[in-house]
A and B are shown apart, each in its own frame.
Chain A
Amino acid sequence: EIVLTQSPTTMAASPGEKVTITCRASSSVSYMHWFQQKSGTSPKPWIYDTSKLASGVPDRFSGSGSGTSYSLTISSMEAEDAATYYCLQRSSYPFTFGSGTKLEIK
């Protein structure tokens, strides 16, 4: 099983600040996928195939990485970006999720 380790677990950012969330895989994966979840709602696809933005995702978000190291970046934090972000690998069974990064606005 591929274990995904996200960091940080929680963080707070000020409006306009650059934010980076990382996801490290215990073995190499072909792509990484990211989800955003706000309280009381289902996860939403946010970034797929490492760097492609899902429909409706602002272009201040970006994704990058390869092999065992991937990241989600927000170029300029906005209040609406406060949420929990999860990474997912579906390169091999069983598919696995990271434990999540809770991002808060300062």
Chain B
Amino acid sequence: EVQLVETGGGLVQPGKSLKLTCATSGFTFSNAWMHWVRQSPEKQLEWVAQIKAKSNNYATYYAESVKGRFTISRDDSKSSVYLQMNSLKEEDTAIYYCTWPGFAYWGQGTLVTVSS
């Protein structure tokens, strides 16, 4: 059974950092192209980032709204994907989901609240 479990969310002040983790099981993670997607309090879904597999040189892609502030990474030995979020803004407040493959499976999400 495919499982995606996001952790690491919480309340953080503007300008601070947070790192999200998505632990996976039930599929061959090393071959998987992983995504992070977020959903704002207004329910708008926004694609955030993608990381491809080792065979694709771990290529990464980002939404313009997070480029330069967020970094997606992976650890194939732990079947996990990460999202390092720096210089957080109030508009980054959202539920963050990891998904695979091509958005077929989603985790339960982790809530990130950016507020002073």
A contact residues vs B (CB 8 Å cutoff):
1, 33, 35, 42-45, 48, 54, 84, 86, 88, 90, 93-97, 99-100
Contacts and interface: CB of A to CB of B under 8 A. Distances in A.
A11 B63 CA distance: 30
B103 interface: yes
A15 B108 CA distance: 30
Interface stretch (B18-26, B44-52, B82-90): B44-52
A100 B103 contact: no
A43 B50 CA distance: 18
Interface of B: 35, 43-47, 50, 61-64, 97, 102-104, 106-109
Contacts of B103: 33, 35, 43, 45, 88, 90
Contacts of A84: 43
Given A42-B97, A42-B109, A86 B104 contact: no
Contact of B106 (A42, A54, A94): A42
Contacts of B106: 42-44
A42 B44 contact: no
Contact of B102 (A42, A90, A100): A90
Of the listed residues B61, B103, B109, the one surrounded by the most CB atoms of chain A closer than 10 A to its CB is B103
Nearest to A49: B102
B107 A1 contact: no
Given A42-B106, A42-B107, A93 B45 contact: no
- Which 3 pairs of residues, A with B, have the shortest CB-CB distance? A95-B47, A97-B45, A42-B106
